[in-house]
Structures are given as C-alpha cells and as structure tokens.
Amino acid sequence: MRRIPSCLFLGVAALICIYPFAWMFFSSFKTNKEIYQPTLFFPSDYEWDSYSGLWAGEFLSFFDYFLHSILVSGGQALLATFVAAGAGYAFSKISFRGSTWLFGVAVLVILVPKQALAVPLFEWMAWLGWQGDLWSLALPGAASGLGVIFFTQVFRKVPDELIDLAKVEGLSPVRTFVILLPLIAPALVTFCFLHFILSWQEHLLPLLMLDDDNMTLPIALAKLRDSSHRIPESVGMAAATLSLIPIVFLFGLCFRKMKTALVELSLS
C-alpha cells in the first residue's frame, strides 16, 4: 500500500514524458488539418507516405543526412571518449609538473559557452582547409572538459596497487592504461553515449562549419519547414521520429552499463 502513491506519481510522470513523442509519431500519419487540431491524438488513417517519401529522397536526401549525423556523432563520441579517458588517467595516476594548471583548464572549458568559441573554431577549420567537411566537427568535439573531470574521478577509484603491479611487470603507462580500460567499461559506455546524444542534437557548429552537401540531420530537418506548406507537416514529424531511432537503440543497448556507472559514481 505504501508503494501505490509512488507508482501513481511515476506513472503520471511517465505519461507526461511520453505524450509529446507519441503525439509526434501519430502526427506523422495525419493530414495538415488534423495536425492543427491539438486535441486530436489519433489520425483518421494510417498511411506510410511520409516515411516512404523520406527514404526515397522525395523531399530531401534524408538517408545521406542521416548517415552524416551517424558518422559525425559516432566518430566524435569515440574520439572524445578515448581522449578524455587518457587525460583522466594521466591526472589521477601520473604525477607531472603543471597537472593542477591543466586540470583547471579542463574546468574552464566547461564554463566557456560554445557560442564564444564558434568564430575561432570557424577560422581554425578554414586555416586547416576542413571548413565544410565532416572532420570540422569531429576534431573540436574531441575536447571535453566534462569528460576529463568525469574520468579523473573514475580512475581515482582504481586501486593504486594495480598501477604498482604494472610498473613491476615493466609495462609502460600507455600499456597500463589500455589494460585498465575493461575495469571502467561502464564509465566508457556512459560517457560515449551521452556525448553521442549531445553531438547528435548539435545545431550551432554544424550550421557554421558544414556546407550543404555535408549537412547533418538536425540542420536538414529545418528544410522541411515550408511557409507555403508545399511539404506536408507529417513529413517533418516522420523525419523527427526517425531521428530518434539511433538514440533509443543505443539507450536500450547501453542501459545496464550506464546504470552500473551511475550507481558507482553515486556511491563514491
């Protein structure tokens, strides 16, 4: 009986969170007239014209933009995870001159908004000749101050005895770092997934860095908003629904590892 109020509260909260996504999914089958009736939840007919038109490239090159987002977000997440994990290992297990100052720089990166770095990044990518290319997003995204702090805390929980044992065996710091990675697998999966989500929904940097041929999905979806309504609103709803598939899939795949990492951090 004591759990009934908690279950009711959680059920109402879950319905509130799910409702916008469910409305978006069912709106992908509606006509414009039905979409502009907020109280109408279910469509009168279920036709897959919006989805088939997107994959056929009738409204825009949806598959190309979808693939660009996968490559940029996945590459950026993997690269950022590797760099942040290496930096966290160095700050927590290796004593070197200037470590405190460098760790402060990592904290400063969190405090500086991306809007303030947009113009310098644009000039840097133009100088490298990567402006308009997908690499112009992958490289800046590899620097994550939050990731450095996160993995520093994670590696501090690794016993120092393992580091001493690796030194006795004559292993280099790089080899020791690689051997320790399986011990922090939940943290690696958690950070990689969160960074993937942040990169997937990024708007500012792709808008500045990429050209029309290499556009990512969030920017491409803006093309579906037409004031003349030549493109049905259901197409935009279908595209937004399809854009959630990678996130939902990865969340279901990584949920157990993420839960383990969050529990360990909360207990530390």
Helix runs in 129-232, H state only: 135-138, 145-156, 160-168, 173-180, 185-200, 204-209, 217-220
For residue 77 the two structure tokens come to: 């997440």
The three-class DSSP label of residue 31 is coil
pLDDT band at 226 (very low <50, low <70, confident <90, very high): low
d(CA 9, CA 127): 54
Residues 6+ apart with CB under 8 A from 100: none
d(CA 95, CA 99): 7
**Domains in the chain and their CATH numbers?**
70-267 (1.10.3720.10)
What is the per-residue pLDDT across 120-175, written as a single tens digit (0 to 9) for each? 888 888 887 777 777 778 787 777 888 888 888 888 888 888 888 888 888 888 88
Nearest in space to 73 (alpha carbons), one of 197, 204, 242? 197
For range 51-66, the mean pLDDT: 82
